[in-house]
Copies of this chain bind each other. A is one copy, B any other.
Amino acid sequence: MISLSEVHDVALRFLGSHDQRYTANRRLIVQALAMADAPLTIDGVTETEPMLALSSTYRNLAVLEEAGVVHRIVTSDDHARFELTEDVTGAHHHHLVCTDCGLVLDVTLPDELEDLLHQSLEAAAKENSFAGAHHRIDLIGLCQSCKP
């Protein structure tokens, strides 16, 4: 597990290479995401750090996303969720998504499987003239509290 100060270092570097400052607000957002054990909604972020204004949080999350520090997760639930990117945390992972409450949990898969997948997807991308950046796997189901 990567330390909080390392996360801040990476964020600073990423923002720097996009001509963006690492302001106090952005720091708070990154910290909130780093401490959370699951991707957070905007409300989740502002509840964790109540000093943050809603509009600034939206703006700064967009800046952080642009700089590759955070990643936006959109589910059928109508609040987007945010997490630090793999480039920041160093951990490739996927998601369990609850269709009922929208909860998102992180999971990792065996490396061999990831390799196989990567090869297949690469081939599929080439076949369809897609410039493939990365893949995303979600297991869609019901979380513990939403189970019947």
Residues of A whose CB lies within 8 Å of any CB of B are 72, 74-76, 96, 98-99, 105, 107, 109-110, 113, 116-117, 120-121, 124-125, 127-144, 147
Question: With A75-B74, A113-B116 given, is the CB distance from A141 to B136 under 8 Å?
Answer: no
For A120, the chain B residues whose CB sits under 8 A away are 109-110, 113
- Are B128 and A96 within 8 A (Cβ)? yes
In the assembly, how many copies of this chain are there?
2
- Are A140 and B144 within 8 A (Cβ)? no
Secondary structure class of chain A's binding surface, majority of residues? mixed
- Are B105 and A128 within 8 A (Cβ)? yes
For A133, the chain B residues whose CB sits under 8 A away are 99, 140-142
Q: Shortest Cβ distance from A46 into chain B, in angstroms?
A: 21
- Are A144 and B116 within 8 A (Cβ)? no
Question: With A96-B128, A96-B130, A98-B130 given, is the CB distance from A140 to B147 under 8 Å?
Answer: no
Complex Cα distance, B113 from A135, in Å, reads: 15
